[in-house]
Structure 1
Amino acid sequence: MFRLYHSNDLDVLKELLVHEIRQNPAGLFEQETLLVQSQGMAHWLRLQLADGLGIAAQLDFPLPSAYVWRVFNTLKPDLPERSHFDKQAMAWKLMRLLPQLKNQPACEALAHYLEDDRHGLRCYELAHKIADVFDQYLVYRPDWLLSWEQGSDDAEGADVRLHPWQPVVWRALVDDSRRLGHSLDHRARLTLSLEEIVAAQGQRLRALPKRLFV
């Protein structure tokens, strides 16, 4: 069952959540799972639930990306516990790759930014910014990334003329992960094949929480 509550008042939504948990509590050994957009929200919500319910125990507050990976991991147990294409993993790989890529013609803008980067600070900042962009693409533009992996820069809706380095850097990131023996099953690939995965391993969904608050 899917229930959607509308309100622009956070306190109203919080009271609805407290009411739902009070009226329909989880089992004694079951966790309530609440997706949050930040750890700050998780902390606030935990305090509010403790105030409204008298106690705040057996609560799990994953971020959306972490929960999505948990679902994939449940359906495909052979996946690593943590994606090799999460934001932090990509950032550290990019710190090593960017100096190697900056001399490619498509990466002229990156080379310009990294000029006189004696202490690696610019490389560090740039790697994290690019990792953040790719992390967004994994969710909202999975078709672009898969197209780039296949060697085509002309993904539908993607105009890389302003940022021609993006396909080059993404392919380098995937190739580097392959050389390291890391799983290439990132969220983009898994999302587009989710229907097939569920059809083959749907019984594993029973291991997921019975309900989910977002």
Structure 2
Amino acid sequence: MLYLHQSHRLEVLLNGLAEVARSPLPDPFAAELMVVQSKGMGRWISLRLAERQGVCANVQFPLPASFLWQLLRLCFGELPERSAFAPEVLVWRIRAWLERAEDVARSPRLAAYLNSGDERRRQQLAERLADVFDQYLVYRPDWIEAWEEGRLLALGADEEWQAALWRHLAAGQGDSHRARLVRRLLHRLEDGSPLALPPRVSVFGVSSLPPVFLDVLQALARRIDVHVYALNPCREYWGEIRDQREIARIAGERSADDLYLEVGHPLLASLGKQGRDFFDRLAEFPQLDSEFAVDEAEPPRRSLLEVLQADILELRDRRDDRPWRLAAEDDSLQVHVCHGPMREVEVLHDRLLHLFQRHPDLQPDDVAVLTPDIGLYAPYVEAVFSRRQGDTFIPYSIADRGMSAEQPLLEAFLALLDLPDSRYPTDWVLGLMEHPAVLRRFGLEADDLDSVRHWLQETGVRWGRDGDHKAGLGLPATTRHTWREA
């Protein structure tokens, strides 16, 4: 059975999850599976469950892709550790195809693009195509299936060569790519074949999932209990709301009222399109037990943020109402304009200190900071939030960083590979020298870097290997301020 638990608050969803988790599994040694969309969410759930129940043990928090791979291994036994269709492998197979002139020549548009650039353009295109094909496997498996059958779907001028490239990549690979494996998995789940499935699966904190993952959950729910805890900002049906531009595009010369389209809440209409489609897709499931839980019958409206949340919850459009009177001390919703990432993090640090002082019951583990690219902000967070003598320290951790950020040696190796294509700026080279592995290789200590910085400042080194390096960049071939003078 598929159970859909909805709420506009994560804490309310957690109450439902804790209630279900209290029901023991048939096998006392079986792990509880809770699928989450980030490692940070898994950590938050484990801490909150431990607070409520005294302990949180034998719980696994796989990401959706990892969970799907676990199911595939349960159904089909051992699978290769790395698929031939993994993006990091696919990029080199695509690069080899792009090197074949007879294949590229079939598409004049593709050939013209590659011939107008150098090898770097060919590599960048291969990397981009590897990511695009990986997305096709998740979001457009029907395209993949049609191309493998030799059919075109009139998708545009680039479809023919992309289909030819995919058929070349898929040739001789059997059922090793994700779309084929998922098709086989769905068939196994639906035909009643005996499978060693987990006794229960929970999917927590999601507001959107790929269609292929929803298909797997629907098929899985015919065998076991599947609980989906979805963040839904609105308790009313909002599947028909559209933003103004979308209404204008759909309606054309007709009236939006004749099509029964409305804006509802403008923020939800413009920013919630992906969530709208997700909940519409869930509503189509034939066997679905759905509920929407709230913590208060009447949502509070004491601040601007609470008014915004309550209006979205009730799908209320205030554009024709009188303006909301903002209290002088209301700072629940803030917008800060900063000149760069470093300043953004500094302002964040100051605002958090102010909030902790203003609300003594607020704890650091109650705060989550979201960024579009944590890799960009991580160095600034460490610089601003690191413990300093005499300063107030805010405990913090950085989640969901890439492997290079978690492995300093790998980060140093990647930086070393990028060095020949750079201008050899002093700050970059010095940053590379700060890595412990580089210091050990040259027998240096961290304190020696102060002497290196002093020498570079005295000699005036700024960038560039030598005069020839500058000449290659179209500049005068002078060694002044280059590493040659150091």
- Scaled to the shorter chain, the TM-score interval is 0.7 to 0.9
Q: What residue number does 1:77 align with? A: 77
The amino acid of 1:160's aligned partner reads G
The alpha-carbon distance between structure 1 residues 209 and 194, as it changes in their structure 2 partners (threshold 3 A), is closer
The alpha-carbon distance between structure 1 residues 197 and 95, as it changes in their structure 2 partners (threshold 3 A), is same
The alpha-carbon distance between structure 1 residues 44 and 164, as it changes in their structure 2 partners (threshold 3 A), is farther
Query: Are the aligned partners of 2:104 and 2:110 in contact in 1 as well (CA < 8 Å)?
Result: no
Query: Are the aligned partners of 2:98 and 2:104 in contact in 1 as well (CA < 8 Å)?
Result: no
Q: What residue number does 1:104 align with? A: 105
Aligned equivalents of 1:99, 1:43: Cα separation in 2: 45
Q: What residue number does 2:134 align with? A: 135
Aligned equivalents of 2:4, 2:80: Cα separation in 1: 33
- Following superposition, the deviation at residue 133 of structure 1 comes to 2.3
Query: Are the aligned partners of 2:75 and 2:185 in contact in 1 as well (CA < 8 Å)?
Result: no
Aligned equivalents of 1:46, 1:61: Cα separation in 2: 9
Equivalent residue in structure 1 for 2:169, among 170, 173, 176: 173
Query: Are the aligned partners of 1:106 and 1:168 in contact in 2 as well (CA < 8 Å)?
Result: no
Q: 3-state SS of the aligned residue for 1:185?
A: coil
- Following superposition, the deviation at residue 159 of structure 1 comes to 0.9
Aligned equivalents of 1:28, 1:70: Cα separation in 2: 20
Pair 1:213 & 2:202 matched: yes
Aligned equivalents of 1:108, 1:81: Cα separation in 2: 37
The alpha-carbon distance between structure 1 residues 201 and 52, as it changes in their structure 2 partners (threshold 3 A), is same
Pair 1:40 & 2:29 matched: no
Aligned equivalents of 1:52, 1:110: Cα separation in 2: 62
Task: Pick 1 or 2: higher relative contact order, CA cutoff 8 A, min separation 6.
Answer: 1
Aligned equivalents of 2:124, 2:14: Cα separation in 1: 37
Larger radius of gyration: 2
The amino acid of 1:134's aligned partner reads F
Aligned equivalents of 2:197, 2:174: Cα separation in 1: 23
Q: What residue number does 1:7 align with? A: 7
Q: Where do 5+ consecutive residues of structure 2 fail to align?
A: 204-486
Please identify, of 89-98 and 11-20, the stretch whose mean Cα deviation from structure 2 is larger.
89-98
The alpha-carbon distance between structure 1 residues 110 and 48, as it changes in their structure 2 partners (threshold 3 A), is farther
The alpha-carbon distance between structure 1 residues 98 and 3, as it changes in their structure 2 partners (threshold 3 A), is same
**Percentage of pairs with the same residue:** 37
Query: Are the aligned partners of 1:107 and 1:164 in contact in 2 as well (CA < 8 Å)?
Result: no
The amino acid of 1:186's aligned partner reads H
The amino acid of 1:172's aligned partner reads H
Aligned pairs, number: 201
Aligned positions of 1:86-165 closer than 5 A: 86-100=86-100, 103-106=104-107, 108-109=109-110, 112=113, 115-118=116-119, 120=120, 122-123=121-122, 125-152=124-151, 154-155=152-153, 159-165=155-161
Please identify, of 10-19 and 76-85, the stretch whose mean Cα deviation from structure 2 is larger.
76-85
The amino acid of 1:39's aligned partner reads K
- Following superposition, the deviation at residue 147 of structure 1 comes to 1.9
- Following superposition, the deviation at residue 170 of structure 1 comes to 1.3
Query: Are the aligned partners of 1:35 and 1:63 in contact in 2 as well (CA < 8 Å)?
Result: yes
Q: 3-state SS of the aligned residue for 1:5?
A: strand
Aligned equivalents of 1:46, 1:115: Cα separation in 2: 53
More helix by share: 1
CA-based RMSD: 3.2
Q: Where do 5+ consecutive residues of structure 1 fail to align?
A: none
Query: Are the aligned partners of 2:33 and 2:201 in contact in 1 as well (CA < 8 Å)?
Result: yes
Q: What residue number does 1:54 align with? A: 54
Q: What residue number does 2:427 align with? A: none
Q: 3-state SS of the aligned residue for 1:62?
A: coil
Cα shift readout 1:77-111 (whole Å, capped 9, x = no counterpart): 26435543234332343344444478333273476
Please identify, of 102-111 and 134-143, the stretch whose mean Cα deviation from structure 2 is larger.
102-111
